[in-house]
Structure 1
Amino acid sequence: MPEDNPIPHEAIDRLCTWFESLSPASLEALGNFYTADARFKDPFNEVQGTAAIAGIFEHMFDSLHDPRFVVTNRLVDGAQCFLAWEFRFRFKRFHATTEQVVRGGSHLRLASDGRVSDHRDYWDAAEELYEKIPGLGGLMRWLKKRAVA
């Protein structure tokens, strides 16, 4: 059986290290990890280009206390990868002392140079975020119960 190309594995190792140490200052290195025309999509955003992707991360740092990612698992298959992660943060406007955890995953496609050309995040915004917001959380839990009844 032929060996996997080590370049995607090495690129994913570097990317995971960068994600887990992400800070406003480290955003300057985004171009080392994403192609200039990379696409990014999550439940709230769909953008293209490193400037737009950096803007999403900048907004995250502006809106939340101590946001950080913890990569809990990774699967690499050729030039694509799936990362399972926990996103840990504290809200600035409410429950500012309580650490929140959003669990999700990212499907990444790599360009031939090992940089990300397509990044799609998957996570349940209703369960992982809306249910934690005062007022809205009660409504979301009620809707969930009604949907399964």
Structure 2
Amino acid sequence: MQSVVEQFKQTYGRLNARSLGLLAELYTDDVLFQDPFRRLEGLGALTRYFAELYAHVETCSFTFEDEVVQSQQAVLLWTMSLRHPRLNGGQPVVVPGSTHVRFRHKIYFHRDYFDAGAMLYEHLPLIGMIVRFVKERV
């Protein structure tokens, strides 16, 4: 049997707008999910959120650099490369981050940590200019 951590990495390696059914194989029905943008409860809410996120994404890939697995939880370090027509002039946006998951037979807790500004805000036309200006001054 494949470990939950390996299944997680493989699922996110294949995930796109047409493959969201894979989430049901990975997460419990009552999963708690949190990232810098949202906190969600339940597989249905997570699937709808990902459907919104992936709706206009051209490509999204994850490179998993490291992981620490202990008992029934893991922390994975990754780099995401995302192409969206409205971000960064359609060029890839590369963002490092990490994920903390807790699991039994499936994942029931998932929390992502990443710089939301580096992923989204810095690549929006007007807001991006302001965010970059502020970051340079801090």
Q: Structure 1 length as normaliser, TM-score?
A: 0.82
Mapped to 1, the partners of 2:55 and 2:119 lie a distance apart of 20
Is 2:113 the partner of 1:117?
A: no
Indicate whether 1:59 and 2:52 are aligned.
yes
Moved over 4 A (4+): none
Q: How is 1:131-146 mapped onto 2 (pairs within 5 angstroms)?
A: 131-146=122-137
How do 1:1-149 residues align onto structure 2 when only pairs under 5 Å count?
10-94=3-87, 95-96=89-90, 98-111=91-104, 113=105, 115-147=106-138
Distance 1:91 1:31 in 2: 25
Deviation at 1:42, TM superposition (A): 0.4
**Identity over aligned pairs, percent:** 29
Gaps of 5+ in 2: none
Kindly tell me: are residues 25 and 137 of structure 1, through their superposed partners in 2, closer, same or farther at Cα, counting changes over 3 Å?
closer
Which deviations, in whole Å up to 9, do the C-alpha atoms of 1:48-89 show, x marking residues without a partner?
Answer: 111111112111211322122222221111111011112212
User: What code does the residue aligned with 2:72 have?
Assistant: A
**1:25 aligned counterpart, secondary structure:** coil
2:136 counterpart SS class: helix
Q: For 1:138, what is the secondary structure of its paired residue?
A: helix
Query: 2:18 & 2:119 partners in 1: Cα distance?
Result: 27
What is the letter of the counterpart of residue 19 of structure 1?
Y
Task: State the Cα RMSD in Å.
Answer: 1.8
TM-score (norm 2): 0.88
